[in-house]
Amino acid sequence: MTIIVFLPINKISTISTTTLTQKSIIMPTVNELLSRNSQTSQSHRPLPTIAEAHSAGEGPPRIALISCCDARVVPEEYFGLKPKDAIVFRTIAGHPQGCWKDLVALDTFMAEGFGTGGFEELAVVHHTDCGSLIFTNDLIHEGIKKRNPGQRIEDIIGTEFGAVETSMEQNVRDDLEWLKSAPLIRKELAERARGFVYDIKTGRVYEV
């Protein structure tokens, strides 16, 4: 099967035609994932409840990590994360704009419910060869309008969908500045936020 990919003229143009073999497009279904779980659950060790962990003196993770939802890019792998090392949020391109409500809610819950003061560190991680370098906000906006005729999409979800118009490094800097200006994100946390880019070819994460 051949898929023709048409890219906006102001975007990356290195992809023109992609040929997918039958073998390469086989992906698991939800039922297959459930079948896997029937196997993995056999060796599952019960996890402590929140109350049990609290009684044992275990607090929540102190690091908030925002990373891209690209299936190739897994923070648990590239940072070698262990359970409870960090709370990971995954959004398009790793933009904090896509998860800021969750970040604020968890930071507040940790402070009010556990008395920890909230997150101590915040890392924003983008990556090379991100899909956000290929699509445009207009492309997504028009596509959503086509799927939802008669609805004013811009009034519902706006017109920004995470497309990157600059370099990935500059986009990380822009996201860090956005965090500092976001009204509900704790100022101390936003000031301590650090930005990174993960190189999918070398596996290295470098700071911006």
| In a domain? residue 169 | yes
- pLDDT of 15 reads 46
Cα 120 from Cα 110, distance rounded (Å): 11
| In a domain? residue 10 | no
DSSP state of 80: T
| In a domain? residue 182 | yes
With 0.85 as the threshold, say if the pTM is over it.
no
Asked if residue 9 has pLDDT above 80, the reply is: no
| In a domain? residue 176 | yes
User: Each residue of 160-200: pLDDT tens digit?
Assistant: 888 888 889 999 999 999 999 998 999 999 999 999 999 99
Report the C-alpha dihedral over residues 53, 99, 192, 176, rounded to 10 degrees. 160
Better-scored residue on pLDDT, 66 or 16: 66
User: Each residue of 35-45: pLDDT tens digit?
Assistant: 999 999 999 99
- pLDDT of 144 reads 86
| In a domain? residue 67 | yes
Better-scored residue on pLDDT, 25 or 188: 188
| In a domain? residue 53 | no
| In a domain? residue 46 | no
Tokens read off for 155: 């009034």
Q: Which amino acid is at 17?
A: T
Domain coverage including residue 110: 60-207
Looking up residue 93, the CATH number of its domain turns out to be 3.40.1050.10
Asked if residue 83 has pLDDT above 70, the reply is: yes
- pLDDT of 24 reads 61
Q: Which of 111, 87, 113, 91 is nearest to 100 (CA)?
A: 91
| In a domain? residue 5 | no
Strongest mean pLDDT among 17-26, 109-118, 133-142, 194-203: 194-203
| Number of domains within the chain | 1
- pLDDT of 12 reads 45
